[in-house]
A and B are shown apart, each in its own frame.
Chain A
Amino acid sequence: EVQLVESGGGLVQPGRSLRLSCVVSGITFDDYALHWVRQRPGKGLEWVSGISWNGGTIAYADSVKGRFTISRDNAKNSLFLQMNSLRAEDTALYYCVKDVNMIPYCGGPCYSGGLDYWGQGTLVTVSS
């Protein structure tokens, strides 16, 4: 059974930092890209960042570029999101998500894809 378990969320003041973690089990971890997707309360899905199987390809949404850093440790089956300079609009449920592919986006011809396994999310609240 594939499981993604997030941790590290909580209440943080604007301008401060937080580091999210996700431990993945039930798959060959370094065969797949991974992502962080967030959902503000009562709102839709927003892709935040994605990383390829070996960390060689990384991408960010414009809304977090320069503030957030995604990374992975294949030896520990873990995905991370370092979030700096947090803002009120970063308040959301953050999902750790497995990709069907090894890379986070096609960038050219591809025949499959999508996000096929999701964690239950960790809630980040940015407020003073």
Chain B
Amino acid sequence: VLTQSPGTLSLSPGERATLSCGASQSVTSNALAWYQQKPGQAPRLLINAASSRATGIPDRFSGSGSGTDFTLTISRLEPEDFAVYYCQQYGSSPITFGQGTRLEIK
């Protein structure tokens, strides 16, 4: 089970966002990804292998962590970053997603 916190995060553009994802057991090979989903759109892969940015993802997005505790950090929020974020483990079956963190404009 992946548990994301907080459920909702209210911040202003330019601020730093820190999103957490906790696993009930160690994630195999730190096989953890982060996704961004905006209303009416399919999710977009941001980070894989816990800390590697996917192709085309701005460097204000960074991932860290290992084992059971992972973090997605957005260094300086842009208006387009306000969305729902999901973590996902793909190290073992069944693959699981966290319940999501909604990042909203304060």
Interfacial residues, chain A to chain B (CB-CB below 8 A) = 35, 44-47, 50, 59-62, 95, 100, 104-116, 118-121
Contacts and interface: CB of A to CB of B under 8 A. Distances in A.
Interface residues of B, number: 30
Contacts of A104: 90, 93, 95
Contact of A106 (B52, B55, B91, B98): B91
B17 interface: no
A114 B48 contact: yes
Given A107-B91, A116-B54, 17 more contacts: A35-B95, A44-B100, A46-B97, A50-B93, A100-B48, A105-B91, A106-B29, A106-B90, A107-B93, A108-B28, A108-B29, A109-B29, A111-B29, A115-B35, A115-B88, A116-B55, A118-B44
B94 interface: yes
Nearest to B54: A116
Contact of B94 (A47, A110, A111, A112): A47
B42 A44 contact: no
